[in-house]
Structure 1
Amino acid sequence: MTRVLHLSTYGAKSGAGVAALRLLEAERSYGLDAELLLMAPNSETLAGVHALGNDRRLYRAWQCQLWSERALVALLNGFNREQTFKTSLGRLGISMRVLRPYLAKVDLIHLHWTQHAFLSLRTLEELCKLGLPVVITLHDYWWAQGIEQMETKPSELSAPLRRLDRQVRQRKAELMAYYPIHWVTVSSSLANEVSRPPIIPRLGVSTIGNVLSAHYYQQAQSQGSRDTNEQVPYQILFVATRVDDPIKGWSYLSTAMRQLADLAGEQRAQMQLTLVGALSDRTLLKQIPIPVEHLGSISDAERLRSLYAESSVLISTSERESFGQTILESLACGTPVIARDSGGPADIVIDGVNGALVAHDKPQEMATALWQHFTEARVYQPEACRATALRFAPTAIAQQYAQLYAQLIDDTQRANS
């Protein structure tokens, strides 16, 4: 039985952490001996999950390193907060002494989002020296760049941070060229992006999507009728961790809603935009000219599932999206998706089948697609939506990883023999 150790800084409170937890569950169900080591404290009761942060001593040590790194970024960037949490330096992290007890009898190491002072580049090299194959799933652009996590072009970094960026970029290139590291991207668009920089590992890049959670997988298998909202004939759903996060495209969303209101005229009263997620400035709701309801953050999986099922359509307006977990969840509930073409959604949304993919720089296309759906000029069948979600079923994704693991373990054993 293949023994895999996954590592992720965060658990259920981050998108990458959720993806790692779902993959762990899928792999264990598939028959792999998989475990997940988290840095942050975690209350998950899922089998195979270990959280270093649940140990107060280790938690304090990690927090000290994390905030030391954040303070250095702020200092080097002239105390401009813009980059404080958008960069990771890769210099500080947990020592091998802490990790070693979890590495016994492991066949392969699988890294997810390990920034924020969990795994330093020095510790990564020490892990590679164990002679085990290493897989890194990219949930953003950090491994393919220097210190930045999301930007694919030079951002507003100070001269000291630019120098540090070049140093980190060079260090990553050296590691990828020398050690048996294999990248996995969660979408084909992300694969195209990270294949351009000169940091590509010598073992190459694979593309394997995120796992549809077991909860939503069961929903997708059900062919029962979708729930309907009797009070609001046309309910538009938007789900994000933080609704007004610039990366989630609030400007695009509000513009599309204004143009939809123009198309709808008096019929706008039959529509409602429902927002799920934190909102730092409630005055932004005044920019939406159709009825709008902000529900705040929702951690109850069943309540969120009901919202997906009750809605007429989910919209995704992200400036950049590496995958699109909410898109997958909506489709599993039989609800179509109209998404901005921002990367990952292109791997999930099939135009005219389970929704529409609209131009990145044309919010009027989203407004038009919503209007056509509202007027039934375009109809998307719930069965088709569910069928496309099932492409990311736990067994299917676990099988792809199992095949990749087996190949990498075999290649490594040959190279070491």
Structure 2
Amino acid sequence: MAWREKKLLARVQAATVQARTHAAAGRGLQAEFALTDVMDACRELARLKPVYINDLAVASRDLAHLRESMELWKKAERAARESLAALRVLAETNPKVLPDVVGMLMDLSRYLARQGCNAEAAPHDEEAVAIVRQLAAADSEYLPHLADSLSNLEVRLCDLGRFDEALAPGEEALQIRRQLVREDTQFLPDLAISLNNMGNLLREMGRFEDALAPSQEAVDIRRPLAATDPGEYLDLLSGSLSNLGNVLAELKRPREALAFTEEAVALDRRLVATRRAGYLAQLARSLSNLGLRCWEAGLTQQAEAPLTESVRLRRELVAANALAHEGDLSASLSNLCLALRDLGKLQQAYAAAVEAVAIRTRLSATTPAAFLHHRVDSLINLASILTRMGRRDEALATAREAERILQQLVAVDAVAHGPGLAMAQRVIAEAEGTS
């Protein structure tokens, strides 16, 4: 063994021990520094001898996972890309490495999604599905992994607004997980994930009646799981409660929707008290939902406080990562402007509505499938506020812009966008003074 190789191996061994020691003591930054040194040394070893490519793949994977735990998404992405590149080289001559390739593809997609880069993330999920489908065809032991990759692809396509495309992988993941639960109840948590995702997807597609059953079933599974293991399942239960509340609201059952959403907020406050950074986005979302549920139930006075808090939290999140959170901020602003409008606080409502339109106009220019219909909602809200302010010409122009976009959307999907078009036309009538 050459002197250079021996020196690098000794460096890997020493830095690995340091990384484990720091990680065990909760010293994340020091552990990251040590693991970075491990990866750098393994990279040099791999250049010396291809036999060390596997060590590079493992070291960069471990570094990616550590950075993930620290919520350093961009740095986790870089390490994951290096691990994936090494694994691809290994898989060319050793098919047994393919499951590791799948795992790293899914990790990389997740890191990109956490940065708001869903369009870049989706192809990695599609590749993961293609690989693991072949593995599952040869060995049913890979069925859980196929369900995982299909579920991830469903979520990613939903994030891009490609709901029709998301339905097939979502239904397949749900079918596989029901089959797995019949054989072993340890897969119940995974089934709840698919049910929750399916409820969300069907709601986004305007199929509210169909969305109710999977949304309710997800809550029914997660509630006992959270009772026995709150550390693992409380945040998931909260998400399902919020989603069920959203579906019930679409079904015009506002009081039931409000009760589930209030429970979600209470759980999220508990979670934020234990780890603020990890659950702040979830609390902001449930607060936005709570404000909207209060408004829908006619409790306008009670709606303002949670919506204002949601906007404040989401501004904080946008300051740290605009790409990932701007869309959520626009949702909170859009909900807040409705409550402020009905409370007679028209100047504040106008400011919130204008900001929501500006954000959604910018986002819909790059991702129209995900944000164009939300932009239309914000335009309708703004037009309604302008009418109440007596600025009828501006209101009419804004509402007609929404109508024009909705006519195009209705031509593609009348079920999903027909109610929005009717709303835009009502707002036009109000602005014209003919309603």
TM-score by length of 2: 0.27
Larger RCO (alpha carbons 8 Å, 6+ apart): 1
Which of the pair is proportionally richer in helix?
2
TM-score by length of 1: 0.28
Greater Rg by CA: 2
